[in-house]
Protein backbone atom coordinates (compact mmCIF):
# COMPACT_ATOMS: atom_id res chain seq x y z
CA UNK A 1 0.00 0.00 0.00
CA UNK A 2 2.82 2.44 0.77
CA UNK A 3 4.47 1.68 -2.56
CA UNK A 4 1.26 2.46 -4.42
CA UNK A 5 0.83 5.69 -2.48
CA UNK A 6 4.40 6.71 -3.35
CA UNK A 7 3.80 5.86 -7.00
CA UNK A 8 0.75 8.10 -7.07
CA UNK A 9 2.71 10.89 -5.39
CA UNK A 10 5.53 10.58 -7.93
CA UNK A 11 3.05 10.61 -10.82
CA UNK A 12 1.35 13.73 -9.43
CA UNK A 13 4.67 15.51 -8.98
CA UNK A 14 5.65 14.64 -12.54
CA UNK A 15 2.27 15.85 -13.82
CA UNK A 16 2.65 19.17 -11.98
CA UNK A 17 6.11 19.67 -13.42
CA UNK A 18 4.87 18.87 -16.91
CA UNK A 19 1.94 21.28 -16.51
CA UNK A 20 4.30 24.10 -15.60
CA UNK A 21 6.55 23.22 -18.51
CA UNK A 22 3.68 23.32 -21.02
CA UNK A 23 2.18 26.60 -19.85
CA UNK A 24 5.26 28.73 -20.36
CA UNK A 25 6.58 29.97 -23.66
CA UNK A 26 10.23 29.03 -23.22
CA UNK A 27 9.58 25.47 -22.09
CA UNK A 28 11.56 25.88 -18.85
CA UNK A 29 10.05 24.52 -15.62
CA UNK A 30 8.82 27.04 -13.06
CA UNK A 31 11.73 26.10 -10.81
CA UNK A 32 14.25 27.17 -13.46
CA UNK A 33 12.47 30.49 -13.98
CA UNK A 34 12.49 31.18 -10.24
CA UNK A 35 16.18 30.32 -10.02
CA UNK A 36 17.01 32.56 -12.96
CA UNK A 37 15.04 35.49 -11.52
CA UNK A 38 16.69 35.04 -8.13
CA UNK A 39 20.18 34.92 -9.63
CA UNK A 40 19.45 38.10 -11.59
CA UNK A 41 18.12 39.85 -8.48
CA UNK A 42 21.21 38.91 -6.46
CA UNK A 43 23.60 39.96 -9.21
CA UNK A 44 21.94 43.38 -9.44
CA UNK A 45 22.46 44.08 -5.74
CA UNK A 46 25.91 45.40 -6.68
CA UNK A 47 27.42 44.74 -3.28
CA UNK A 48 24.43 45.96 -1.29
CA UNK A 49 23.21 43.71 1.49
CA UNK A 50 19.89 41.95 1.48
CA UNK A 51 17.73 40.71 4.33
CA UNK A 52 14.42 38.89 4.53
CA UNK A 53 15.02 37.36 1.11
CA UNK A 54 13.05 34.23 1.96
CA UNK A 55 9.88 36.22 2.69
CA UNK A 56 10.36 38.36 -0.41
CA UNK A 57 10.57 35.32 -2.68
CA UNK A 58 7.69 33.48 -0.99
CA UNK A 59 5.50 36.57 -1.27
CA UNK A 60 6.31 37.00 -4.96
CA UNK A 61 5.36 33.39 -5.69
CA UNK A 62 2.45 33.15 -3.27
CA UNK A 63 0.48 36.09 -4.69
CA UNK A 64 0.03 34.70 -8.22
CA UNK A 65 -0.50 31.21 -6.82
CA UNK A 66 -3.38 32.34 -4.61
CA UNK A 67 -4.87 34.64 -7.24
CA UNK A 68 -4.79 32.05 -10.00
CA UNK A 69 -6.12 29.17 -7.91
CA UNK A 70 -8.92 31.33 -6.50
CA UNK A 71 -9.89 32.40 -10.03
CA UNK A 72 -9.78 28.78 -11.18
CA UNK A 73 -12.06 27.84 -8.27
CA UNK A 74 -14.53 30.51 -9.37
CA UNK A 75 -13.95 32.50 -6.17
CA UNK A 76 -14.94 29.52 -4.00
CA UNK A 77 -12.51 29.73 -1.08
CA UNK A 78 -13.29 26.26 0.23
CA UNK A 79 -12.49 24.73 -3.14
CA UNK A 80 -9.36 26.87 -3.55
CA UNK A 81 -8.14 25.88 -0.07
CA UNK A 82 -8.69 22.23 -0.91
CA UNK A 83 -6.74 22.59 -4.17
CA UNK A 84 -3.88 24.27 -2.30
CA UNK A 85 -3.90 21.69 0.50
CA UNK A 86 -4.43 24.29 3.22
CA UNK A 87 -7.41 24.99 5.44
CA UNK A 88 -9.83 27.77 4.56
CA UNK A 89 -8.88 30.01 7.50
CA UNK A 90 -5.23 29.89 6.40
CA UNK A 91 -6.28 30.77 2.86
CA UNK A 92 -8.39 33.69 4.11
CA UNK A 93 -5.44 34.98 6.17
CA UNK A 94 -3.12 34.78 3.17
CA UNK A 95 -5.69 36.48 0.92
CA UNK A 96 -5.88 39.38 3.40
CA UNK A 97 -2.09 39.61 3.58
CA UNK A 98 -1.89 39.95 -0.21
CA UNK A 99 -4.91 42.24 -0.57
CA UNK A 100 -6.86 39.59 -2.46
CA UNK A 101 -9.78 39.47 -0.02
CA UNK A 102 -11.76 42.22 -1.71
Return d(Cα 27, Cα 3) in angstroms, integer: 31
- Report all structural domains of the chain as residue ranges with CATH numbers, in order of start: 1-48 (no CATH), 51-102 (1.10.10.60)
Residues 6+ apart with CB under 8 A from 77: 70, 88, 91, 92, 95
pTM > 0.85: yes or no = no
Distance CA 47, CA 35 (A): 19
Predicted pLDDT of residue 9: 44
- CA dist 41 and 39 (Å) reads 5
Round to whole Å and give the CA distance between 76 and 71. Answer: 8
Per-residue pLDDT tens listing for the chain (102 residues): 333 444 444 444 455 455 544 444 678 898 999 999 999 999 998 888 889 899 999 999 999 999 999 999 999 999 999 999 999 999 999 999 999 997
Amino acid sequence: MTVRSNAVRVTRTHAYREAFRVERDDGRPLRACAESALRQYLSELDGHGVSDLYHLVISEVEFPLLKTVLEHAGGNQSRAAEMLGINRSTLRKKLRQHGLDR
